[in-house]
Chain A
């Protein structure tokens, strides 16, 4: 059975990419042909009230969501040159729908191949149907040009509401965001942010991982994963004690671990910033997330507690410099590297992918200690290409915090990579005592 969605909505463009889209486009270009790396999926199990639902009811809800959010029916205009990529939102078209028996295999199937950015819509849809041909769940596979994690969450929320016969908040407009970013005011905002980065790049260490230490492993980028209920408790306890977010606690510990590894006191880390602080960006389905710049002199802190306070301040600054034209930024940073006669790049990134910041709760040290034996440290499948030397991803799994560290084995051989995750956990756990 072959079915498809009717794509309808207001056409817009051709227009340039928004800054966040440009940033992900530049990353995609670096990863080709491994750019399926950026695909990601979300599964919505239908709300109880409508599950299982007839296929037409679900496709109608999907059509209303695709109509609301122009980014889901937007393609790259063919024949672009690298510096001037344009996008066009369709007013009508068809979007194919795949039928399957379970969400996991549909997810694997829908994310396996790279998107054809000029020919294909940036959303792939799968329906999980039961034996009677009714829909239990919807799998949405996103091209990262259409949405970041927050954007995808809004799509899932709106699909859920549409299935229940309701409508979500009025979404923002990608076309308005693009227009603002390319206006004189938008460019001035970008220039201020780019200036901040360039100034910091003139002073900071050339890299957090300057020393090549070993021959890389055959599949070069290894992925270590720590799953720790104790870390979740300890992170919350320290956040409550120091009146900061758990993100600031994690960034303090990351800075400490990275500085110990390199033997230099100043940490420069690129956190992924959601860039959803302004009201017009909050419910916008597009990719807004970009890198910010977190710089922390760990030598200024006498204790881990003090380091957490400094990290909080540094993180607020870092999260304020995530929104700028990434091509202008790249050019400015390349100039700094030429001035310094060496490549300046932290090669150290941090992505707190939790959509909701957990409430800071004071957990007693004995609860943290009791949870420690539950910590799991293991290897996840390695990656062929990652444009970084140290990428830390924070997620959660039930009661546990999950830290996933992807490292370049030429700079961080496997033992060292895993050791860093253990040390990171240990620093936070010990600070609770």
Chain B
């Protein structure tokens, strides 16, 4: 079951791709959002939107695999203390 944070993030993925990727597709993807066609422009928009909405700074120095899926990003954000 997806929680509220994951639903929000999936909607943000969809917005970052101008709707090319639907929120439900983003939620269902368990391997890599890039597989759905989330390219660098969309990732940069998503990072910008996530940072603004949740007041965090995404760490691009370390292993970035937490950006792979909605689930992994939600998990990373929760570890930073973010609630939906």
Point out residues on A near B: beta carbons under 8 Å: 243-245, 247-248, 277-279, 312-313, 315-317, 319-320, 357, 359-360
Check B48 against A245 for contact (C-beta < 8 Å): no
Contacts of B19 in A (CB 8 A): none
Check B40 against A319 for contact (C-beta < 8 Å): yes
17 interchain pairs (CB within 8 A)? A243-B32, A243-B34, A244-B40, A245-B40, A247-B40, A277-B45, A278-B45, A278-B48, A278-B52, A279-B49, A312-B40, A315-B40, A317-B60, A317-B61, A319-B40, A319-B44, A357-B39
Contacts of A315 in B (CB 8 A): 40
Contacts of A316 in B (CB 8 A): 40, 43-44, 47, 60, 64
Interface centre among B35, B39, B45, B49 (most CB of A within 10 A): B39
Q: How far is the CA of A312 from the CA of B45 in the complex (A)?
A: 15
Q: How far is the CA of A164 from the CA of B58 in the complex (A)?
A: 43
Q: How far is the CA of A360 from the CA of B38 in the complex (A)?
A: 10
Closest residue to B15 on the A side, CB-wise? A279
Q: How far is the CA of A245 from the CA of B34 in the complex (A)?
A: 9
Contacting residues of chain B (1-20) with chain A, CB-CB under 8 angstroms: none
Q: How far is the CA of A78 from the CA of B52 in the complex (A)?
A: 38
Contacts of A279 in B (CB 8 A): 49
Q: How far is the CA of A320 from the CA of B40 in the complex (A)?
A: 11
Chain B at the A interface: SS class: helix
Check A313 against B60 for contact (C-beta < 8 Å): yes
Q: How far is the CA of A359 from the CA of B64 in the complex (A)?
A: 23
Closest residue to B61 on the A side, CB-wise? A317
Neighbour of B41 across the interface among A243, A313, A320, A357, CB < 8 A? A357
Check B40 against A277 for contact (C-beta < 8 Å): no
Contacting residues of chain B (26-65) with chain A, CB-CB under 8 angstroms: 32, 34-35, 37, 39-41, 43-45, 47-49, 52, 60-61, 64
Contacts of B44 in A (CB 8 A): 277, 316, 319-320
Q: How far is the CA of A317 from the CA of B41 in the complex (A)?
A: 12
Known: A312-B40, A313-B64. A243 touches B48 (CB 8 A): no
Measured CB to CB, the closest approach of chain A to B17, in angstroms, equals: 11
Check A245 against B39 for contact (C-beta < 8 Å): yes
Q: How far is the CA of A279 from the CA of B15 in the complex (A)?
A: 10
Q: How far is the CA of A317 from the CA of B47 in the complex (A)?
A: 11
Check A320 against B47 for contact (C-beta < 8 Å): yes
Neighbour of A277 across the interface among B32, B37, B48, CB < 8 A? B48
Contacts of A247 in B (CB 8 A): 40
Q: How far is the CA of A315 from the CA of B64 in the complex (A)?
A: 12
